[in-house]
């Protein structure tokens, strides 16, 4: 379902080259994803990072060879580099830390694109919820009307 939405909105999305959007993580630009993975390694695993221990280039090459799945490519590269597992929850927390960085000054490369991608997705989810509520409201009105019409002969006896 996300993949269909992404294909229909491809012109408005800023997705990393080679990434095929099928999971929510695929909407995260590669610079943000790599920075979050590196921060996860430092914060959650206590790994002392060398500056070039996990790079955008490393993950980009893996994306090309794994069918365009960003998180899978990132997790595989992470495992190769650090001999540890990249967990989605910890990774997500680090992505949020990058997004919450102050808007003035040093915003991480890729954050504006990520915000735009998720704004499009949130707008679609909002529209879907609004449409579902309208359909449910109409269904309830229709049921009430049918009950009222069905009960009408009992309320108003027909004279013969």
Q: Which pLDDT score is estimated for 155? A: 66
Query: Across the 160 residues of the chain, what is the mean pLDDT of every consecutive 10-residue run?
Result: 92 94 96 94 87 86 92 96 94 92 71 94 96 96 88 66
What lies within 8 Å, CB to CB, of 78 at 6+ separation is 37, 41, 54, 84, 85, 86
pLDDT at 52: 61
- pTM of the complete model: 0.81
What pLDDT sits at residue 117?
A: 96
- DSSP code per residue over 4-48: HHHHHTTTT----TT----SGGGGS-HHHHHHHHHHHHHHTT---
Q: How far apart are CA 74 and CA 29, in angstroms?
A: 12
């Amino acid at each position: 379902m996300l993949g269909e939405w992404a294909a229909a909105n491809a012109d408005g999305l800023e997705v990393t080259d080679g990434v095929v959007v099928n999971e929510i993580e695929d909407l995260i630009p590669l610079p943000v994803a790599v920075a979050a993975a590196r921060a996860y390694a430092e914060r959650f695993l206590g790994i002392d990072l060398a500056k070039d221990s996990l790079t955008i280039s490393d993950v980009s090459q893996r994306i090309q060879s794994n069918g365009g799945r960003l998180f899978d490519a990132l997790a595989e590269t992470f495992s190769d580099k650090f001999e540890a597992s990249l967990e989605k929850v910890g990774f997500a927390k680090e992505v949020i830390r990058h997004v919450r960085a102050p808007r003035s000054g040093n915003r991480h490369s890729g954050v504006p694109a990520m915000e735009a991608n998720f704004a499009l997705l949130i707008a679609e989810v909002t529209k879907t919820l609004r449409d579902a509520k309208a359909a449910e409201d109409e269904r309830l009105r229709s049921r009430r009307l049918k009950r009222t019409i069905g009960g009408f002969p009992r309320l108003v006896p027909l004279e013969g």
